[in-house]
Amino acid sequence: MRRTLIAALLAGCALLGGCSAAVGGSGHVGLPANAPTLPGQPNVPNQPNQPAPTVDCPRVSDPQAGLTYRCVTSGIAQSSDLLWTVNLGKQTEPGWLLGEGSTSAPLSAAVPLEQVTNLVRREMVQLNYWGPNPGVRTLSSAATKVSGADAWVLATSFTINPKYRSQQHLKVRTEHTWIVAIRASNTAVALWYVTLPDEVHRLWHTVPALIRGIRLR
């Protein structure tokens, strides 16, 4: 059975002894259009008095995650996703999307942010965000500050499985993905990601500025 991101994080960090109770999940997984569809969970309504996320590019507001940030490109649109409360996508070729999004997890300050980013990446790989059995190469993994808060940025290069590429008639070969975990409070981590295939490699150099522009609400 497919898990929400929060459930996956809580399961992964339980050994560290720093996790708090889980809260509700989000929608269906936003995989490439030709990826296998697994059973998802229905959307969970916003908590009472919690404003809905708004996407009005170039700005995105995610009250549940407590973040505002810029759209990585024009023409990006919302879609439901199991892992991310806000999930944006844009087709780069038939059957493949670039993506950006955000969510939050109720994790205590005892959970290292580096561990959180690795757990998120592992869950996304297991859910075939880059197709089955992609090559995974860490480009960088480092502490930083985002909106004045402690944060961790994990940058990864994924190589799309050649057999899968051939079967699906895909041009994409590699994809660069950034996952950012931000210490929003002593009891919560805000998360943001962007994933960009080599077909839009010109956008890769814009990501550091995107990350600097993320704001805690």
Residue 155 has pLDDT above 70, yes or no: yes
Give the three-state DSSP class for 17: coil
The predicted structure's pLDDT at residue 62: 96
Mean pLDDT of the 21-38 span: 31
Q: pLDDT tens digit string along 129-150?
A: 999 999 999 999 999 999 999 9
We find that the CATH architecture of domain 5-31+55-216 is 3-Layer(aba) Sandwich (3.40)
Structure tokens at 104: 């939050």
Structure tokens at 217: 């609400």
The predicted structure's pLDDT at residue 19: 43
Q: pLDDT tens digit string along 66-123?
A: 999 999 999 999 988 889 999 999 999 999 999 999 999 999 999 999 999 999 999 9
44 confidence band (pLDDT: 50, 70, 90): very low
Triad 116, 118, 120: Cα angle to 5°: 70
Spatial CA neighbour of 95 closest among 67, 128, 69, 118 = 128
31 confidence band (pLDDT: 50, 70, 90): very low
Structure tokens at 107: 């994790």
| Radius of gyration from C-alpha coordinates of the chain | 16
Q: pLDDT tens digit string along 169-210?
A: 999 999 999 999 999 999 999 999 999 999 999 999 999 999
The predicted structure's pLDDT at residue 217: 84
Mean pLDDT of the 21-47 span: 33
The predicted structure's pLDDT at residue 5: 54
